[in-house]
Structure 1
């Protein structure tokens, strides 16, 4: 990697102490990392200050400081340009962030020595078709969620898989999650955990008012269509925890495997089930 960008979460790295530490570490080795202008001016280190969106144009590697949410926030833009991400965990869980703060300097050494692997994580593409023919396309690393928004009661959802009716159920919403996202909202809603390398994804209802509607695991070649059978104007579409747009009962949401993959830099030796035990099972004892 010749051009490394640093993206900190300003709520996690509040005083930019870690951002400065990383930038200074690179400076000592004759490297100027890239930073967004508004952040570069706040630290006393030699950096290349660019507009935030230009980080994805100039950099061939990103160091993201924060938690999983911070990584999710940059995953779409980074995946479109095939930029690998190294996550430094300042959050609570840290499923995606590979490095803990105490491992930082060793990780940076291995990064410049190319002693790492890159894990490719499947993503989802959500295409929203409006009644007026409008089209919106988004990509998600964790999940795509359609929820009832401010609607005060359950909404009836129609789920079709490969143009075949799969289920109709009243619920608070529907989660469509990748293997990476299976340990997030999907897990909270009672969905199954999938290993990150699985070529599959899962559709999970949120609080369905039925006794039989459960999660459905799909092949990565399957395609899902979601629409509501209720007359409502403010269904919420969110991807990776961020609200993208509101939907009406006339809108249809099509979900399939994205042509993009998220590239996560793996330096630590921790395995998936070790992380699962550490982050979820043992943490809740």
Structure 2
């Protein structure tokens, strides 16, 4: 039967990157009689790139991108696909990530070599990687003030430069530690190669069901990263402090928090994202390529 309705998630506020790939992709899908859905907010970008809208293309509300498609194509980088994953529904379509920039870690396909894989995907011949989402709630006296999700990481840090603050961290009702420093990163395995790694956290294989707590510049020699089961309920509270403290989810959603707030992190019971898997690459080949791709430039500069 195949996949017949294809929706697009585009990297925000970018036009030049779509000038060649989007027209080619739209023509390719049009020849296969596929219906295409574009977000209404991307109308100017799409019109500029395509010049002429294909007969079976529509502009729809953002919610329909996720509820009325058989497949989502993400055009951008890891940030673009993260945004798509965070809006996933329980029975949402798989996401086919095409990387337009530097090497993507969760964006599985290169813009220069994806049509064969997309052809197989449209014929329902594909595998997916299931990515769990983690729910974050901010509450005050048992009243929920904010609720959202992350796939990569949640970061609590202070906006003021060179100003430490203190957090108390518990898991399943047991205190882990009280840490003073620049903040804390709560990362999933897929996010362990991002900010957490830069802050001294471990690389965790996506098959390991876990969360890692990585202190950011802790004012202590003993407060090290801790890996927890991903079914843990993590509670965090900050001590009274001067200046603003922010909670940031996947680098895309930010709110201010205070010492009155309780931050709770827990794996979503039924919400996850499905990414179409590139069968020509493995986790470790991507890992090596991502963290050594600058070596050639270093050698040439010597």
TM-score of Structure 1 vs Structure 2, range by shorter chain: over 0.9
Deviation digits for residues 107-151 of structure 1 (CA, Å, limit 9, x no counterpart): 221221222101101221111112583431111110111111237
Deviation for aligned residue 1:229: 1.0
Alpha-carbon contact 2:215-2:223 (below 8 Å) kept = yes
The answer for unaligned runs of 5 or more in structure 1 is none
Equivalent residue for 1:222? 232
Structure 1 stretch displaced more, 48-57 or 67-76: 48-57
Question: Which secondary structure state, in structure 2, belongs to the residue aligned with residue 236 of structure 1?
Answer: strand
> 2:294, 2:15 → 1: CA distance?
20
Quote the Cα distance in structure 2 between the aligned partners of 1:107 and 1:120.
18
Relative to structure 1, is the Cα distance of residues 204 and 74 closer, same or farther in structure 2, using a 3 angstrom cutoff?
same
In structure 2, what is the equivalent of residue 107 of structure 1? 117
Tell me, in whole angstroms, the C-alpha distance in 1 between the residues paired with 2:138 and 2:100.
34
Distance 1:267 1:116, change over 3 A: farther
The yes-or-no answer on 1:19 pairing with 2:30 is no
Higher alpha-carbon deviation: 228-237 or 194-203: 228-237
Aligned to 1:195: 205
**Mean alpha-carbon deviation: is it higher for 1-10 or for 25-34?**
1-10
State the 4+ residue runs in structure 1 displaced beyond 6 angstroms: none
Q: Show the 5 A alignment for 1:63-78.
A: 63-78=73-88
- Within 5 Å, give how 1:154-173 maps onto structure 2: 154-173=164-183
TM normalised by structure 2 equals 0.88
Q: Which of the numbers 30, 41, 46 marks the counterpart of 2:47?
A: 41
- Give the gaps of 5 or more residues in structure 2: none
Residues 258/117 of structure 1: CA separation in 2 closer, same or farther (3 Å cut):
same
- What is the Cα deviation at residue 19 of structure 1? 1.7
- Counterparts of 1:248 and 1:12, CA distance in 2: 39
CA distance in structure 1 between the aligned counterparts of 2:120 and 2:16, rounded to whole angstroms: 23
